[in-house]
Structure 1
């Protein structure tokens, strides 16, 4: 960042900066509207309604939610940190493939994994049928595995799907840790087997806390897997209270309780690492991987492959086989084609809206940094990023009243022209686009802001001295340089919007399906063969960002290894 030089006019307040400040403020206020409406709706509930919820709904749903969060967080922490240490600190045949394969469960939405395992582990399904054949048992009554439709089954499945969030954050820490710290610990007599517990894990606690917090937020956002597996959570309670009972105040009260849980999770994550600092030298040396041979190498490969097998490979193979068989026998139905088109159209529009809003917020902050007055712009950026931490059901409940108010206002404005009142936004594709944009705005803001940070401020200075306004500087200088960051953000937003289920279920137009809701409806009525095609398409598209992320991670590991080799050669 350059120093201000009041004597030169080109360093004065940027021409055309005010519209960007207004746009950033408008985006931040738009994010706050559903949260404020949620509190307003919750306050409308009667005392009798709250007593009913407190007596019959919240105890069971609240307990299940707490147990689900604790169980999934524990499994994800163990699997994520353990697998990250396994592929970072050890070298064995297959390690290169395993290091990126451990990311594959990210392509699996939780509701799709639950959908797949419901059929795979059914008493008459392929897994139990194969086991009975091997054991020589004919009747399912004589041999049956524990029912996956349970709280325990939900915890295990979600844990094996969501652990990559922990794996990503902790492995990044392991790759960038100074290898000298581990060497010093060994020199002080710490056994190699104890390095993980006594040295590496404490250093990775901040990364572990961030990863677990993301896992818990995704668990709280889940609705499909919990409902498929028969687990009554707060998220399911919000959906059933509104859809089945038409009780908006009651749903808002439960959603407000979920929002408090989200706030608590974020506070605990930050509080737990408030006094933790990690510092490395200017040239940190990554850890040297221990070479494994024989039985140890086979065991390491098997342990690392188990999460990939359960979290991705088995359900993916099932979906591929069922989907291909369905397409071969019945082809693609017109309804499924319409659902795929609706999915692409809504996700594409939401991606465009999210990128434009994210660009406005990030660019307003960039302009404010040039004048060193970042309080308002920084606050707008933080508020605009809140949506990602809000579960889809909570956001949808918060949007219902504002959308209704806008419809009423439009109806009143058009009444003198003889236009009959109707639902302009409520239950429309535009409502879905708005919900997706608010939910995933943080992804676009983070990516664009990081891209802007890599552009030297001297380019801004030169453009302003040449008479360019704020918009001209962005259009002619920064946008060409921001293409990679915006492309990455667009891909992530598009895939996340395509997979979003809770908000889609609550805000979609009547008789309009997306791939996610098509799968949900088929699973609800037990038509697993038809839903397999939709699930396979979702997973196939979701693999794209995971592959790119894996390639990025492999490049980072290669850079660390090359840097280490270069220093040793020097």
Structure 2
């Protein structure tokens, strides 16, 4: 029996490889289809797109990426540092409250904030009553249905990607290194910038890549706000112009943005080495914040939670209460049950597939296995419009 054990283990590992390759092939099928469309002649439609809207797609997509990237980095990293290594009133609550905006889709926030901030919405109505303004010509109010509005909406729902992975990265660091930096004369702020932040960079960049993928793939928010990006361009080209090949080629061009980001990040840390921490979290010596520093830390954590979850939730609950009869008509419970079933089934399927690939990689850390897992991970790169 002992002689057969290596053979059984070998066959078992080969079976896991086959399963992982099958999963990766299934996930990669849409990607390969989109990439293959590059070699198909789309006729004169590209000339029309280049002369009219293509430059706008590129510029708006780049601006969206830049704005969302800066926003999620600042909010995600700073809040993760505060709840992980600082102590102030409510820090333990904020550790999980800051994850709640991830549960709200960006387009839902777009609809909610548009209703809240429009001319007849509660915000402008209250301002007019306070200051005695009669009409819109008496004051200026920013137009949320714009590029900057889309950037803010996406920041509010996507910063938890960076926040969650940054927390994990900060907790896995060697805190003896941080203590050594403090003993050498670094302030807590200098220790964060010079020691903690560089050590946490792999996790932070992974969260940033996920957030940027979601931002570039978003359709509902940018379409509702009238911002022309690659996702709206794919949809308009396919369904508006009836050009499926050109739409797939636009999707392939969009995928190049994400591939470029991933390659640049991997190249930037190709020779870097990072070390994890074995000290339990309970042994971490947190910085005790008092007076105005504690208040500032509380506000920094509260504002993204308030903007990304609490404020829209209060407004939506108020709408439901004031329109209870209408809200529970039109197949409300049927639609809610369908949403719940789809989310549960999707979550279970994603969990099972992830466990299979993770265990397969642990069982056989080969080039073929690693390549299959990486290909499967590229499933999040697919633009929404390209797979509809």
Say yes or no: TM over 0.5: yes
Indicate the residue corresponding to 1:391 in structure 2. Answer: 383
State the shift of 1:199 in Å: 2.5
Return closer, same or farther for 1:184/1:10 CA change in 2, 3 Å cut-off.
Answer: closer
Paired with 2:332 and 2:38, the residues of 1 have a C-alpha distance of 37
State the shift of 1:304 in Å: 1.7
4+ residue runs of structure 1 moved beyond 6 angstroms? Answer: none
Does residue 205 of structure 2 align to residue 209 of structure 1? yes
Return closer, same or farther for 1:91/1:257 CA change in 2, 3 Å cut-off.
Answer: same
Does residue 18 of structure 2 align to residue 52 of structure 1? no
Count of aligned pairs: 386
Indicate the residue corresponding to 1:12 in structure 2. Answer: 7
SS of 1:279's equivalent? coil
State the shift of 1:280 in Å: 4.6
Paired with 1:349 and 1:282, the residues of 2 have a C-alpha distance of 36
Paired with 1:373 and 1:71, the residues of 2 have a C-alpha distance of 38
Does residue 228 of structure 2 align to residue 232 of structure 1? yes
Indicate the residue corresponding to 1:417 in structure 2. Answer: none
| 2:215 equivalent among 200, 205, 219 | 219
State the shift of 1:87 in Å: 2.1
Return closer, same or farther for 1:340/1:284 CA change in 2, 3 Å cut-off.
Answer: closer
SS of 1:276's equivalent? coil
Indicate the residue corresponding to 1:293 in structure 2. Answer: 290
| 1:156 equivalent among 129, 152, 158 | 152
SS of 2:53's equivalent? helix
Return closer, same or farther for 1:342/1:191 CA change in 2, 3 Å cut-off.
Answer: closer
Paired with 1:96 and 1:361, the residues of 2 have a C-alpha distance of 33
Paired with 1:356 and 1:10, the residues of 2 have a C-alpha distance of 27
Paired with 1:186 and 1:353, the residues of 2 have a C-alpha distance of 46
Does residue 108 of structure 2 align to residue 112 of structure 1? yes
Return closer, same or farther for 1:223/1:172 CA change in 2, 3 Å cut-off.
Answer: same
Paired with 1:214 and 1:103, the residues of 2 have a C-alpha distance of 15
State the shift of 1:47 in Å: 4.2
SS of 2:44's equivalent? helix
* Residue pair 1:170, 1:207 contacting (<8 A) in 2 also: yes
Does residue 256 of structure 2 align to residue 256 of structure 1? no
Alignment of 1:315-334 (within 5 A): 315-326=312-323, 328-334=324-330
SS of 1:141's equivalent? helix
Task: Report the TM-score, using the length of structure 2 for normalisation.
Answer: 0.89
Paired with 1:159 and 1:347, the residues of 2 have a C-alpha distance of 23
Paired with 2:346 and 2:288, the residues of 1 have a C-alpha distance of 48
State the shift of 1:116 in Å: 0.7
Paired with 2:75 and 2:365, the residues of 1 have a C-alpha distance of 44
Paired with 2:353 and 2:173, the residues of 1 have a C-alpha distance of 36
* Residue pair 1:53, 1:250 contacting (<8 A) in 2 also: no
Paired with 1:348 and 1:282, the residues of 2 have a C-alpha distance of 34
Question: Which of structures 1 and 2 has the bigger CA Rg?
Answer: 1
CA offsets per residue over residues 72-109 of structure 1, 9 Å max, x none? Answer: 00011111111122223321222221222111111111
State the shift of 1:220 in Å: 0.9
* Residue pair 1:177, 1:284 contacting (<8 A) in 2 also: no
Alignment of 1:146-545 (within 5 A): 146-280=142-276, 282-283=278-279, 287-326=284-323, 328-347=324-343, 350=346, 354=350, 369=363, 374-394=366-386, 396=387, 506=388
Paired with 1:61 and 1:89, the residues of 2 have a C-alpha distance of 41
Higher relative contact order (CA 8 A, sep 6+): 2
State the shift of 1:258 in Å: 0.9
| 2:66 equivalent among 63, 67, 70 | 70
CA offsets per residue over residues 222-255 of structure 1, 9 Å max, x none? Answer: 1111111111110111111112222101101100
SS of 2:226's equivalent? coil
Return closer, same or farther for 1:331/1:173 CA change in 2, 3 Å cut-off.
Answer: closer
Paired with 2:352 and 2:202, the residues of 1 have a C-alpha distance of 32
SS of 1:123's equivalent? coil
SS of 2:138's equivalent? coil
SS of 2:162's equivalent? helix
State the shift of 1:281 in Å: 6.1
Task: Report the TM-score, using the length of structure 1 for normalisation.
Answer: 0.62
Superposition CA RMSD, Å: 2.7
SS of 2:136's equivalent? coil
Return closer, same or farther for 1:76/1:378 CA change in 2, 3 Å cut-off.
Answer: closer
* Residue pair 2:173, 2:275 contacting (<8 A) in 1 also: no
Return closer, same or farther for 1:129/1:293 CA change in 2, 3 Å cut-off.
Answer: same
* Residue pair 2:114, 2:144 contacting (<8 A) in 1 also: yes
* Residue pair 1:80, 1:167 contacting (<8 A) in 2 also: yes
SS of 1:190's equivalent? coil
